[in-house]
Amino acid sequence: MTTYRFWCGECGFKTPWGTESEAERGHTDHYATRHPGLLLGGQVETAAEAPAAKGMSCVGCTTVAVLGLSFLIIVSACGR
């Protein structure tokens, strides 16, 4: 699924990743509140899926959990 993010043409604002209509709505709302009276400007960025969804896979979560558990075991062994 393609996701979209709109960038403001007036400031550094970026909408969150989402469907095209969600991102466009956020862009329009931003202009209405922060830049009233100006025509919409900026850019549209697309991605095959939201970068946040790519970031941490199950393998990444498992690795963090194993490292945390190992740390707790080491700390508790040293405390005895």
What pLDDT score does 21 carry? Answer: 95
Q: Which residues, 6 or more positions from 29, have their beta carbon under 8 angstroms from its beta carbon?
A: none
40 vs 76, more confident: 40
pLDDT value for 58: 66
Give the model confidence (pLDDT) of 13-71 as tens digits: 999 999 999 999 999 999 999 999 999 999 999 998 756 555 555 666 788 888 888 88
Are 37 and 2 in the same domain?
A: yes
Task: Name the pTM for this structure.
Answer: 0.59
Domain shared by 36 and 71, yes or no: no
DSSP 10-25: SSS-BPPSB-HHHHHH
Residue 32 domain boundaries: 1-49
- Read off the amino acid at residue 73: I
pLDDT recorded at residue 68:
82
pLDDT at 77: 84
Residues 44 and 66 in one domain: no
